[in-house]
Amino acid sequence: MIIDDFYSGINKSEFYLGMITQVYKDHIVLQAENLSLLSHRELEENSLIPSTINYYVVVESIKGLFFGEIYQSKIASSNNIHFTSKDETWPEISIDVIGLLANGEDRFKLPGTLTAGIMDKVYIANNRIIEEYFDAVEVINDSNKNEETLSSFAVLTNNEQEVEYRPSTLFDKHLMVVGATNSGKSTSALSILDKLIKQNIKVLIIDPTGEYEAAFKDVEKLEKLKLGEDTIISVDELSLQNWEVLLETNDGTQPSVLASAIRSLRCQAKKGLKGCYVKEDKEVTIVASDLSNVKDQKSFNLKDLPEQIIKESVAVQYDNSSRVRKYITDDFRLNTNQFLFEKIEYKFNNTAFLDFFGENSTQGTDTQGTDTQGTDTQGTDTQGADTKGTDTKKSLFKEICDFATNSNTSLYIDCSGIGMSDSIGGTIIDLVSNYIVNIEKDDINPFIFFIDEVHRYTKKASESGSEFYNGLTTIAREGRKKGIFLFLTTQNPNDVDKVLLGQVGTLLIHRLTQYDEISAIQNYLNKQELAEIKKLNTGEAILTSANLLTDVALRIRKCEGRIQNNETPSLTGK
């Protein structure tokens, strides 16, 4: 294609700017022949304002048509524009070359090492050229060339032209939406979710605040669960390591004490007895025999756990009268275990912790195949969980298993009952992530895993400093090969594990204001874009991706008909 093909039916000279006078490796410079060429004008559907920056141009070259974006315009400091004729003032305009339509080809591509030459003519790009370029901005390969694009969720900031992307372009290297409060981050997420669901792409939505609860009421192919109300986690689906994280044990003796208490309660459940298992005054051999029979017992009465920790405060002593070794109360261990007792008792009585385990925490549920020694949920059999006493409540892991392997329906999980400061939130996400990633690849029906405000779920505090949950990182590394794609939002990229952030190949970046926040994503943007991040309006964003030829400045369109509970109340009540 030649330049005249794009300007047929209109006067090409009306779009003319000038000629190239300087060529560098990273940009080129054109010199406008006079200041009059930079005047604003309306030509049919094209609104041209060449006196500013951030608009597009096309360079007619012997090698083809180079597509570029203006990032700097200036008049030589030696020219006094107040006293100099417009015809005698020749501005210089710097161009970032971002595309090439080579001779004989019909699709723009990256220019590589090629660039325009001295004296090549430059024209303002009309809507047709811009549309042609952005239709070609996605990297196309054999796996996605026949993929249907999503409905448009945004327009170009520069000229209001709609853009559409294939799902794989946004998600095959995972997508993260970043932005400060009131920057439009949630609106962008909802708009993209709406397009995914309308196109029958499976989505698993984890909502920590209930913000999206009313957004999908009219969607038939979306099952809605509320963790702690109609959906619970069974105690027999968690390993000892999971309990350590949930109950925030320290790095000292607390993990071993907790493990002993859980093992004792499992012994009681195995025998069908209520209350705590008492070791005091019992022979060591009898206790050892009792506890040896609980390997296949996974459930226990969670409510008895604090008291059982006190019961574990025993030591072995030789009884001279009976000549056997017995357990007796040990005051030192009692004092040591008191802190763990008080911490768990407080969590049970003052948080929603117990709500997430339902009444089946008191049942003698026996789930074969649960690995309590491992560090993940591999081997957990959620299909065989006994929900006796919880007929009206669903098992979280079973619902996720059905969603991932069988259903064509999306799944929404409202986690708003989880306290923001509770470690249970991060642990549940970690459990879900590890569970999903351990499902066999051939059993998974590919889906998108959406987590709002992911910074709440990727880092936990410990006595030794900050530690990160590894479930999402595992999905980021391994999930793509299984058909699991992450869609995350966060206010501050610094609060996200650096390993997880490094695995994300596509970012939709809204306004960021803090230097350290911008520094976290500086490798994704060029110098000019970094300068613009602080100035973006609500709803404006820069889309950067390994699947795009260039970064794209977008204005996100608010999703009509979807209710989102994120409005900021007025202080005046009006």
DSSP β-ladder status, 506-509 and 175-178: parallel
Under 8 Å between Cβ of 446 and 404: no
User: Per-residue pLDDT tens for 353-382?
Assistant: 888 886 544 444 343 333 333 334 444 444
Q: Classify domain 167-230+392-556 at the CATH class level.
A: alpha beta
Question: Mean pLDDT of all residues in the chain?
Answer: 84
Ranking 55-69, 157-171, 368-382, 384-398 by mean pLDDT, the lowest is 368-382
Confidence of residue 141 (pLDDT cuts 50, 70, 90): confident
Task: Tell me how far apart the alpha carbons of residues 103 and 106 are, in angstroms, rounded to a whole number.
Answer: 8
Ranking 29-38, 394-403, 412-421 by mean pLDDT, the lowest is 412-421
Burial class of 216 by CB neighbour count within 10 A (0 to 12, 13 to 18, 19+): buried
Burial class of 371 by CB neighbour count within 10 A (0 to 12, 13 to 18, 19+): middle
Question: Is a pLDDT exceeding 50 seen at residue 69?
Answer: yes
Question: Is a pLDDT exceeding 80 seen at residue 4?
Answer: yes
pLDDT-above-70 percentage for the chain: 86
Task: Tell me how far apart the alpha carbons of residues 132 and 58 are, in angstroms, rounded to a whole number.
Answer: 12
pLDDT at 459: 65
Question: Is a pLDDT exceeding 70 seen at residue 574?
Answer: no
pLDDT at 460: 56
Q: Which among 209, 202, 198 is positioned nearest to 223, based on CA atoms? A: 202
Task: Tell me how far apart the alpha carbons of residues 72 and 356 are, in angstroms, rounded to a whole number.
Answer: 57
Q: What separation in angstroms does the CA of 304 have from each of 273, 313, 329, 354, 357?
A: 12, 15, 19, 12, 14
User: Per-residue pLDDT tens for 479-491?
Assistant: 988 999 999 999 9
Kindly report the backbone phi and psi dihedral angles of residue 30, in degrees, each rounded to the nearest multiple of 5, phi listed first: -110, 155
pLDDT at 282: 92
Confidence of residue 330 (pLDDT cuts 50, 70, 90): very high
Torsion of CA 180, 181, 184, 190, to 10 degrees: 110
- Range 163-167 average pLDDT: 93
pTM: 0.80
CB contact set of 151 (below 8 Å; sequence gap of 6+): 164, 195, 198, 199
